[in-house]
Structure 1
Amino acid sequence: MTGERAVVLLSGGLDSATVLAMAKDQGYSCYVLSFDYGQRSLTELNAARAVAIDAGVVEHRVLRLNLEDFGGSALTDPSMSMPESETGEAQEGVIPLTYVPARNTVFLSLALGWAEVLDASAIFIGVNAVDYSGYPDCRPEFIRAFEAMAALATRQGVEGKPIRIHTPLIDLTKAEIIQAGVSLGMDYAKTVSCYQADDEGRACGRCDSCRLRAKGFEQAGVTDPTHYQS
């Protein structure tokens, strides 16, 4: 164990669950933060609880945010149609309708506040610039800028102990993420990635997230444990 504390952002999906396993493997004492932000599928929060318990984290908190009050995303505004592309890949230069305005900025800011209270040295987040290249808040440039801001805006930063933002998945493909998680004993059957999973956590198999996930398991050569709607 490193003896250091880390705040890990956990949605209940495949990527964030893998990041939690990586943080644990690196010896961090993990304090997990999830958000009920008005997303269509709340079953991912049930998945987050199951993953956190399985990982034996120190503490898991779920914060309620009302981002649906703003809307502007297919994830938080039911009047917008959920994209169901054939390729499951973001178009270059096009920000997907599933982008939630400023979501990662808000999430990281709250994680930063908790990290300061805990005297944590790190925040882990499962952003990925390969499969989700259309999301502006998943880019390395954004993470570097937020880390620089955090060093200026926090007591720990001013005292010379800046909190580091760890993004171990940022340059990995979905297949590489899955392979890394499997090597750490990750049980992906407990995770929910679907943007519109039903009340039992079963995936639709049609949204972009489902397509990327299925393609990842296929390319990784790993049996897909996802529970799909019949």
Structure 2
Amino acid sequence: MNNLAYTSQDPIYVGQKIEEKIREEIGSSTPLPYTVEQGDAASVSAGSFLKDIGKGLIGGSADVLFYLNFEFPGQRPATLQVAVNRQGVGSHAGLCMYNAKIAKPVPGETSLDDPKFFGKSKFSGDGATAEKLNSNGDLIKIANGLARLEGESGGMGLKIKRCCRVVPDGEGGNLIVATLPRPTKMGMSAAVDVQDFFHLAQLVESCL
């Protein structure tokens, strides 16, 4: 079982195990390309902007050993950055930051509201963009489920602030979502819900 928690802090070993888990979720036999970025790295890289967003979501409280930056092949350019946190002499997967290109123009930035006591949260921000996204019930359901604020990895409870944003970028836009590992099989396994993210990106693009 692979529950995204490990007795090792070796980037090579941990990277391979997390890559296997992600590849399992997307049903691919082809290895996914990824890079390793140290947690205290100050240089600018392809994953820097996701790392900067992530620090604001967790308040800088996590002891990040390193980041794994995955690139997904296919027609829609997308990346996933997984923060690997220290857990004693081992490690576990923590904050997961997704980013995907949206081909259609995005009129203005919108973000998913914080959770409500009753019902699903909706998007707010740019009125025209939010109205289009909020009109699709499936989109709202998936966004609320994926952009979770609490998770568990290696028996440790994790909490983050909500981040599910659709932002303009040139002639198109970007979908940026932060999430946490979701325990499955009574904690013996875990998921990062890659397929849900791609489904959400498809719905966002179709609504715009």
**Structure with more helix by fraction:** 1
**Structure with more strand by fraction:** 2
TM-score surpassing 0.5? no
Query: Which TM-score applies when normalising by structure 2?
Result: 0.29
